[in-house]
A and B are shown apart, each in its own frame.
Chain A
Amino acid sequence: MSSGIRTMDSGIRFDSVSVAYGKSVVLDSLDLTVEPGEVMALLGPSGSGKTTALRAVAGFVRPVSGRVFIGGRDVTALPPHRRGIGMVVQQYALFPHLRVEENVAFGLKARKTARADIPGRVADALEMTGMAAYAKRYPRELSGGQQQRVAIARALAIRPGVLLLDEPLSALDAQLRSGMLAELARLHRELPDVSILYVTHDQVEALTLADRIAVMDRARLRDCGTPQELYRAPRTAFTASFVGNANLLPVSVGVGSVSLGGAEVKVDTSGVAAGVSATLCVRPHLVGLGPGPNSLSGTVTEVQWRGATHRVLASVAGHSVKADVRELREPPALGSAVTLHFAPEDAVLLAAGVSDE
């Protein structure tokens, strides 16, 4: 099923695409390329313009400037039905008056696929999403997760080169979501040529599924890179805090070390000039309790029990530091003194100019 079924061009390119509603710019000259066969996650907080970017590819909003390419072809002026995309929107939008198989066949019929081929391709798509047993049902007779599979099957049946997914898992509960994540990953292995643009505000989804992640905030692209790059070596404070919820601490840079509220902290300072102020970025799960290589002393302001872990919030030199540690038998009391540490190689130093503030 995985080979020889591609019929449409793959790959997406945004070329300085701007979208505005009236006077408010909701997408500010976006430059982004999704390679053929690549899964690109579009990650960002609510209202950052992710859906708008997707709609610009689908053709439901017209950019005020810039061009959109699909498979190397400029589609900016093409109406949606001539773009050759598959799209799954948040609410699935299955046609309520059609059975599952008719929903999946819809795109094939609309594209005047040879009548004899339709049943086979519908069966393929339903098979791939594990919905073959539900072909005769109406959408209202399916659960949320099943509806979403049908929506994906419907988009895949036309064998698009480009698959646009707008928060496809947001309506599902946590357990179903992780199951569907695995299925999406499997689907992508079965369809290695399809470019997938995957909108989400959930970093776990993005980290799990994507080859690369594009981080958006306030209508702009803030960062773009592989999950490892963004997680281990974020280039902006926004990325660091949005992907992985990192501690961000303002420091002044010395030679081979930085100073945080008077305390010396050893980190790699290469690439940041001495004497400037910068932001130190450490993931909460890499911060430990007790003395260690880089010790910080502060007072406990909050302790949250999260089952397998405790999150300890401490105030260090006036800044709040989060530490996620293995479940403690005796969590520290609020207001008590606490020492935190982290390994020098676990911290990333961001020059102040790089952050978006």
Chain B
Amino acid sequence: MLVHSRKGKWATWTVFFVLFLPLFALPLLVIVAASFAGHWSGAFPSDLTAEHYSAATRGESLQALTTSLLTALGASLIALAAGTWAALAAAALKRRGEGTSRLSRGCGRILDALFIMPVAVPSVVVGLAVLVAFSKPPVILNGTSTIVVLAHAILVTAFAYQSVSAAILRLDPAYEQAAASLGARPAYVLWRVKLPLLLPSLTAAAGLCFALSMGELSATMMLYPPDWTPLPVRIYAATDRGATFTGAALAVVLMGATLLVLFAVSRIRTRASYR
């Protein structure tokens, strides 16, 4: 932040500590503290132990982590592909609409609206919709891992679509035109110019989708089969049966895994961004 005066700096830091710490950091710290707690009856936890973690990284819990990671990976890849494709198509439709065809501009807007839907509709509703739609012929996915991945993909594609759309808007059309004037067909331009230039936004979108999918609970609850239990469901189950500290340890594992993946993605992103 560009604050130069000494007083201003102090004020900024004060606001940061007063607002940020209690609102954002403390709850997370409490979870971490709880994950080590044997008992917690006073102001601070007591009987500190690492036992919850050994439980959280073994057997079914470990499997739940893998399930979550695979689901998030699948969902974010599908979302990235579908969202990018749709965003490119919408941008092309809206641009070609310039001056001539009102219809194509309309189609572009419809795509925009379509991809806001999963954000506007509660995820419980999306989960239910997916469940109802794929529980009877012709496509029966009920009770498979596919339906979970599919639901997650539907939920997060909207975010991929929106961040890629924004990036396409910022992309200078001069690059595309320079490429076309050099004789590059549209597919070649897409592959060699547009996608490489969009890469930083694409990885950002992928990270966002991944994180959202890792934390998804409400739609998952309706859909997950017994052999495909993502971590948030296990956290919920643990808390539900009163094992709060085990739940806390699982939550910390979930948080850690997500952060680790996001960190890796951001490393790719720094390498991919050219200024």
Query: Are A and B bound to each other?
Result: yes
Q: How far is the CA of A60 from the CA of B177 in the complex (A)?
A: 8
Which residues from B are CB-within-8-Å of A140?
274-275
Check B196–A97 contact: CB distance below 8 A.
Answer: yes
Contact partner of B178 (CB less than 8 A), chosen from A83, A89, A111, A138, is A89
B214 at the interface (CB under 8 A from A): no
Given contacts A22-B99, A93-B175, A95-B193, contact A79 B181 (CB under 8 A): no
Question: Which residue on chain B has the smallest CB distance to residue A102?
Answer: B192
Cβ distance A25 to chain B, nearest Cβ, rounded Å: 13
Which residues from A are CB-within-8-Å of B193?
95
Check A110–B178 contact: CB distance below 8 A.
Answer: no
Contact partner of B274 (CB less than 8 A), chosen from A21, A59, A138, A155, is A138
B116 at the interface (CB under 8 A from A): no
Which residues from B are CB-within-8-Å of A158?
182-183
Q: How far is the CA of A87 from the CA of B177 in the complex (A)?
A: 9
Which residues from B are CB-within-8-Å of A79?
180
Q: How far is the CA of A111 from the CA of B199 in the complex (A)?
A: 24
Question: Which residue on chain B has the smallest CB distance to residue A55?
Answer: B177
B184 at the interface (CB under 8 A from A): yes
Check B275–A91 contact: CB distance below 8 A.
Answer: no
Check B182–A110 contact: CB distance below 8 A.
Answer: yes
Q: How far is the CA of A81 from the CA of B186 in the complex (A)?
A: 8
Q: Using an 8 Å CB-CB cutoff, how does the interface string of B196-230 with A read, 1 for contact, 0 for none?
A: 11010000000000000000000000000000000
Which residues from A are CB-within-8-Å of B185?
81, 110
Check A106–B179 contact: CB distance below 8 A.
Answer: yes
B174 at the interface (CB under 8 A from A): yes
Check A96–B177 contact: CB distance below 8 A.
Answer: no
Which residues from A are CB-within-8-Å of B192?
106, 110
Q: How far is the CA of A58 from the CA of B182 in the complex (A)?
A: 10
Check A107–B183 contact: CB distance below 8 A.
Answer: yes
Check A110–B188 contact: CB distance below 8 A.
Answer: yes
What is the interface size of chain A, counting residues whose CB is below 8 A from a CB of the partner?
Answer: 31
Check B184–A81 contact: CB distance below 8 A.
Answer: yes
Check B172–A93 contact: CB distance below 8 A.
Answer: yes
Question: Which residue on chain A has the smallest CB distance to residue B274?
Answer: A96
A145 at the interface (CB under 8 A from B): no
Given contacts A89-B174, A95-B193, contact A110 B181 (CB under 8 A): no
Given contacts A21-B99, A138-B274, contact A95 B175 (CB under 8 A): yes
Tell me the number of A-to-B contacts counted with CB atoms below 8 Å. Answer: 77
Q: How far is the CA of A111 from the CA of B188 in the complex (A)?
A: 10
Q: How far is the CA of A199 from the CA of B183 in the complex (A)?
A: 22
Check B275–A80 contact: CB distance below 8 A.
Answer: no
Which residues from A are CB-within-8-Å of B178?
87, 89, 93-95, 154
Cβ distance A49 to chain B, nearest Cβ, rounded Å: 16
A84 at the interface (CB under 8 A from B): yes
Check A97–B197 contact: CB distance below 8 A.
Answer: yes
Which residues from B are CB-within-8-Å of A22?
99
A85 at the interface (CB under 8 A from B): yes
Check B174–A93 contact: CB distance below 8 A.
Answer: yes
Cβ distance B145 to chain A, nearest Cβ, rounded Å: 37
Q: Using an 8 Å CB-CB cutoff, how does the interface string of A70-99 with B read, 1 for contact, 0 for none?
A: 000000000111111111010101111100
Contact partner of B184 (CB less than 8 A), chosen from A93, A96, A106, is A106
Contact partner of B181 (CB less than 8 A), chosen from A21, A80, A91, A95, is A80
Interface of chain A residues 207 through 241 with chain B (CB within 8 A): none
Q: How far is the CA of A41 from the CA of B177 in the complex (A)?
A: 22
Interface of chain A residues 259 through 278 with chain B (CB within 8 A): none
Q: How far is the CA of A89 from the CA of B179 in the complex (A)?
A: 12
Cβ distance B203 to chain A, nearest Cβ, rounded Å: 14
Check A110–B174 contact: CB distance below 8 A.
Answer: no
Which residues from A are CB-within-8-Å of B199?
97
Which residues from A are CB-within-8-Å of B174?
89, 91, 93
Can you pick out 18 interface pairs between chain A and chain B where the beta carbons lie within 8 Å of each other? Answer: A80-B181, A81-B182, A81-B184, A86-B182, A89-B174, A93-B172, A93-B174, A96-B275, A97-B197, A106-B179, A106-B182, A106-B184, A110-B188, A111-B183, A154-B178, A155-B181, A158-B182, A164-B181
- What would 14 more interface pairs be, CB under 8 Å, given A60-B180, A93-B172, A95-B196? A21-B99, A58-B177, A59-B180, A81-B181, A81-B186, A95-B178, A95-B179, A96-B274, A97-B274, A106-B192, A110-B182, A110-B185, A111-B183, A158-B182
Residues of A within 8 A of B (CB): 21-22, 58-60, 79-87, 89, 91, 93-97, 106-107, 110-111, 138, 140, 154-155, 158, 164
- Which 10 residue pairs are nearest across A and B when measured between Cβ atoms? A107-B182, A110-B184, A93-B174, A80-B180, A87-B181, A93-B178, A111-B183, A96-B274, A97-B196, A81-B180
